[in-house]
Structures are given as structure tokens and as C-alpha cells.
């Protein structure tokens, strides 16, 4: 799955269907009972090109559009809703980076998106997805955003390694920063137990004085609400 110039939509979906039948369908029960993917399956998915589907070719991806991506996720979901959900969360986060990140941030993280799962985190205990009630905040200091707070019910939470995080950056001001799980102060919390979706972690994230580089800001600051 290297180029949208070499594969038609029909051939792509046919290839995805065959992969799903061969590598995923037989494991649906194991995935839901254990909450884990079978050993080796993730590597096969990376090799097939699922994670890189919507990443442009200049960053090592396949360059397909999102209409096709959602059809791919749907096709996979017929065999495992969990894996389809994982891909949906990854694709929508990649989309945010493609649309709003600086060139520097794209060059650093989009190539990683070919092999690492990404996630988007907005929901909080204090007010769900209502931005006005968010308590996660980031203040600017020495060319960094100092991030504190928590998120809940995050798709791919605990599985994804890179997250787009919505945080309050001023009075009635909210911004999005890109956070790597390896940054000091990042911790994972409990996972939810959703029937039929146990293989797609929906979890809690904690941020304790994480120093996020200034250029990890997506879009512009001062998005007033």
C-alpha cells in the first residue's frame, strides 16, 4: 500500500479485506477477551501500511484521502471493531497534524506516524468535551508549554504513543499541543471496559508539569471560546 497512484480504491479495499480475513477475523474473540492484540499482528499491520495510509508520500506514507481511510476502517471493523476503532483514532489525529502543525512539527512526527499509533485527547472528568469546562492547562515558560491536568475516555489511551492534547492556555483561551508519551510527567491511568471494544484502549491520561516544546503547538494560540 505504497501509493494512491499505483492502487485503485477497489484494489486497495480488496487487499484490506483479504488481510482482515487472514490476519484479524480469527482473533476477534481473543482480542475482546484479553484487551490485547495477538503477538505479531501490530507489526503486520504496520508492514501492510495501515498506519501510514493517510500520511503523504513525502513523509513516507501512502497519501490516500480520508474517504478511503474511513472505508478501510469500516472494512476492518467487520472483523474487529476494536482494531477499526484504533485506526479511526489514529487517522483523525494524523489529520489534525497535517492541517494545523508547522512544517517543523510535520517533519518530526508524521514519519513517526507510519509506525507509532497517535491519539486525540479532549474529554475531561470535569465537563466531558465541553471546552469551557476544561481544567487541563498549559502556561508558557522558557520556550515551553508547561502542561498539567488529565483526560478521560481517550480512544487509544494507553496504546497511542503521541497525543494531540487540548489545554487551556489563557482566560477563555484553548490550544492544542502535541505530546509524546516519553516526555517526563506523562502517565497512563485506568482503562475502560467496553464490551466489543476491549481491544481498543479507552483510557485516562495524566500530565504533571510536562515541558512541551513551543513548536509543538498546533495552529495558532488565542483560540477564544
186 phi and psi, to 5 degrees? -95, 130
Q: Are 167 and 94 in contact (CB under 8 A)?
A: no
Give per-residue pLDDT as tens, 45-85. 999 999 999 999 999 999 999 999 999 999 999 999 999 99
Q: Enumerate the β-bridge partners of residue 206.
A: 150, 187
Output b/e per residue, 83-92; b: 16+ Cβ within 10 A. bbbbbbbbbb
Pick the CATH number of 9-114 from 1.10.443.10, 1.10.540.10, 3.40.50.20, 1.10.3720.10: 1.10.540.10
Q: Where are the beta strands (DSSP E) in 73-185?
A: 118-121, 137-141, 144-155, 162-170, 173-180
Mean pLDDT of the chain: 92
Q: Which fold has domain 118-224?
A: Butyryl-CoA Dehydrogenase, subunit A; domain 2 (2.40.110)
Residue 181 confidence (pLDDT): 98
pLDDT band at 10 (very low <50, low <70, confident <90, very high): confident
Q: Hey, is 85 helix, strand or coil?
A: helix
d(C-alpha 108, C-alpha 112), whole Å: 7
Q: Please give the biggest Cα pair distance in the chain.
A: 52
Q: Where are the alpha helices (DSSP H) in the chain?
A: 9-19, 28-34, 41-48, 66-77, 81-100, 103-109
Residue 140 confidence (pLDDT): 95
* Secondary structure letter of residue 124 according to DSSP: B
Compute the average pLDDT of residues 11-17: 94
Evaluate if residue 2 carries a pLDDT over 60: no
Q: What is the pTM (predicted TM-score) of this model? A: 0.91
Residue 43 confidence (pLDDT): 96
pLDDT band at 7 (very low <50, low <70, confident <90, very high): low
- Domain chopping of the chain, boundaries: 9-114, 118-224
Compute the average pLDDT of residues 129-158: 93
Percent of the chain's residues with pLDDT above 90: 82
Residue 222 confidence (pLDDT): 59
Residue 130 confidence (pLDDT): 73
Compute the average pLDDT of residues 161-175: 93
Evaluate if residue 95 carries a pLDDT over 80: yes
pLDDT band at 129 (very low <50, low <70, confident <90, very high): confident
Percent of the chain's residues with pLDDT above 70: 94
pLDDT band at 220 (very low <50, low <70, confident <90, very high): confident
pLDDT band at 195 (very low <50, low <70, confident <90, very high): confident
* Secondary structure letter of residue 59 according to DSSP: G
Evaluate if residue 30 carries a pLDDT over 60: yes
Q: Are 48 and 75 in contact (CB under 8 A)?
A: no
Amino acid at each position: 500500500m505504497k501509493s494512491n497512484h499505483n492502487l485503485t480504491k477497489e484494489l486497495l479495499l480488496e487487499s484490506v479485506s483479504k488481510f482482515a480475513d487472514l490476519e484479524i477475523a480469527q482473533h476477534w474473540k481473543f482480542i475482546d477477551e484479553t484487551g490485547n492484540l495477538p503477538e505479531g499482528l501490530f507489526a503486520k499491520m504496520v508492514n501492510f501500511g495501515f498506519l501510514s495510509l493517510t500520511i503523504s508520500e513525502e513523509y513516507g506514507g501512502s497519501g490516500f484521502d480520508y474517504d478511503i481511510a474511513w472505508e478501510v476502517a469500516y472494512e476492518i471493523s467487520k472483523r474487529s471493531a476494536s482494531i477499526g476503532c484504533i485506526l479511526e483514532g489514529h487517522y483523525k489525529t494524523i489529520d489534525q497534524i497535517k492541517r494545523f502543525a508547522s512544517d517543523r512539527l510535520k517533519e518530526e512526527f508524521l514519519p513517526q506516524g507510519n509506525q507509532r499509533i497517535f491519539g486525540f485527547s479532549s474529554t475531561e472528568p470535569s465537563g466531558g468535551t465541553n471546552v469551557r469546562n476544561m481544567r487541563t492547562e498549559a502556561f508558557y515558560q522558557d520556550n515551553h508549554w508547561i502542561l498539567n491536568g488529565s483526560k478521560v475516555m481517550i480512544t487509544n489511551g494507553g496504546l497511542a504513543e503521541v497525543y494531540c492534547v487540548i489545554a487551556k492556555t489563557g482566560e477563555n483561551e484553548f490550544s492544542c499541543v502535541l505530546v509524546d508519551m516519553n516526555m517526563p510527567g506523562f502517565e497512563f491511568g485506568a482503562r475502560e471496559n467496553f464490551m466489543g471494544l476491549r481491544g481498543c484502549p479507552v483510557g485516562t491520561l495524566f500530565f504533571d508539569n510536562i515541558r512541551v516544546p513551543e513548536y509543538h503547538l498546533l495552529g495558532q494560540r488565542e483560540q477564544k471560546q
